[in-house]
Amino acid sequence: MEKIIFRKFLYDIISFFLIVSLSLSLIVWIIQSVNYLDFISKDGHGFKVYFAFISLNFPKIFSKIIIFSYFISLFYIIIKYQSNNEILIFWTNGISKLRLVNFIFKVSIVFTIIQISVVYFLIPKSQDYSRDFIRSSKIDLFSSLITEKKFIDTVKNFTIFVESIDDDRNLKNIFLKDNISASNNQIISAKSGKIIERGSDKFLVLNYGQILDLTDKDYYNTKVIKFNSTTFNLSNLKTKSTTLPKIQEIDSKILISCMNNFLFGKKENYFLPIFTCSEDSAIKSFKEIFNRSVKQLYIVVLGVLSTILIFTNDKNPKNTLFRFLIFLIGICFIVVSEVNSEFLNLSLNNNLIFILLPLIIFIFTYLAIFELNKKSI
């Protein structure tokens, strides 16, 4: 009978948790997806890249909401059981309040282990895959971004100006600036032109114009080349979107290695294809690893905190105020879990208080529960 009761209680927690977390995640995801429309409207990426990018961002959003969703779920289910007198099923079947507390404690540990596994391995991979779509994508919608009498600098090291565009997408009076290198630029002007497609590649065919080769080292020896027709390959253009991975997208092993290098190692800078380990990046790595590990321990803290509700009495006139106080404390713990990493540095002694803070809060909360349990016996 006890197994059935605990199974039902766990089912209610998980069901409500999934409803809350998925609902909140979808709301945040939709808002962020609208913000990322710049990938199409400004950066010229295709819809395939856009949908792949925003889809792979969903696990990150979901993982960030888990701590809050888990606390809300426990808080709601315990109050619901009390309001419906379902909580009495535990006591009438010989299940003590402390056993219920310990059950929630064990469930919280399982949630924490799953969450740490997700943020350590799954989230960096999914974020890196989403960035990889941008790295490997072509500027699919570049031609649709070209408008009349407007300088378009959507892509890297390339600017285009078109005076007019007719109904057949024929371009009139075109000016291009192509930054070939840091010291070499080309300015191309043409009377007319049109963008054509050959397979998956795009080309700009220009008619009746000239090419100016500008070199910083030999500015007065500018070369002018006139042409009747020339073709400019648009498929080689690169996006201005950030292609290097952010700190949240880098593998945990790389971050730990950099962090250890400046905490316990030689404190020497080193370079990887996607990451530069320096003192600044080591601090950022420490903060990120903290968020992927220590921060997640607050799931256990909030789980145990919510069990204090078990010891409340509906007949007590101050019960509502007491519940509100527990909820407020829980929100404060969530805020603390979010801001803790901002105070970290490369001194392990200075960071010890922030690393041990979840354990300290847990111990004091559990001691308070023992005292409440003694009074309820």
pLDDT single digits (tens) 220-240? 566 777 888 888 777 666 655
| φ, ψ for residue 2, nearest 5 deg | -60, -40
Q: Could you tell me if 41 and 96 lie in one domain? A: yes
Domain boundary among 233, 266, 296: 233
**Per-residue pLDDT tens over the stretch 236-283:** 666 555 556 778 888 888 999 998 888 887 788 888 877 888 888 889
Identify the band that residue 75 occupies on the pLDDT scale cut at 50, 70 and 90. Answer: very high
Name the token pair of 103: 């059950």
Q: Could you tell me if 259 and 161 lie in one domain? A: no
Residue 341, pLDDT score = 85
| Minimum mean pLDDT range among 48-57, 114-123, 201-210 | 48-57
Residue 189, pLDDT score = 85
Identify whether 209 is part of a domain. Answer: yes
Residue 11 has pLDDT above 90, yes or no: yes
Q: Could you tell me if 226 and 288 lie in one domain? A: no
Average pLDDT over residues 316-323: 83
Residue 103, pLDDT score = 94
Q: Could you tell me if 222 and 318 lie in one domain? A: no
| Minimum mean pLDDT range among 59-63, 300-304, 321-325, 349-353 | 349-353
Q: CA-to-CA distance for 283 and 342, rounded, in angstroms?
A: 10
Identify whether 364 is part of a domain. Answer: yes
Identify whether 116 is part of a domain. Answer: yes
Q: Could you tell me if 6 and 128 lie in one domain? A: yes
Mean pLDDT, the chain, as a whole number?
83
Q: Could you tell me if 126 and 6 lie in one domain? A: yes
Average pLDDT over residues 105-126: 91
DSSP-based helix, strand, coil % in the chain, nearest 5 = 60, 20, 20
Domain boundary among 193, 212, 233: 233
Q: Could you tell me if 98 and 176 lie in one domain? A: no
Which of left, alpha, beta for 6 (phi over 0: left; psi -120 to 50: alpha)? alpha
Residue 362, pLDDT score = 94
Q: Could you tell me if 95 and 153 lie in one domain? A: no
Residue span of the structural domain in which 26 resides: 2-136+244-376
Identify the band that residue 327 occupies on the pLDDT scale cut at 50, 70 and 90. Answer: very high
Q: CA-to-CA distance for 55 and 326, rounded, in angstroms?
A: 36
pTM, entire model: 0.75
Identify whether 238 is part of a domain. Answer: no
Average pLDDT over residues 19-26: 94
Residue 218 has pLDDT above 80, yes or no: no
Residue 157 has pLDDT above 90, yes or no: no
Q: Could you tell me if 348 and 363 lie in one domain? A: yes
Residue 51 has pLDDT above 90, yes or no: no
Domain boundary among 233, 267, 302: 233
Q: Could you tell me if 124 and 147 lie in one domain? A: no
| Residue 300 burial (C-beta neighbours within 10 Å; 0-12, 13-18, 19+) | buried
Residue 4 has pLDDT above 60, yes or no: yes
Q: Could you tell me if 253 and 229 lie in one domain? A: no
Q: Could you tell me if 126 and 23 lie in one domain? A: yes
Best-predicted range by mean pLDDT (25-29, 52-56, 57-61, 152-156): 25-29
Average pLDDT over residues 126-145: 64
Strand partners, 212: 187, 224
The domain tally of the chain equals: 2
Q: Decide: helix, strand or coil at residue 226.
A: strand
Residue 108, pLDDT score = 95
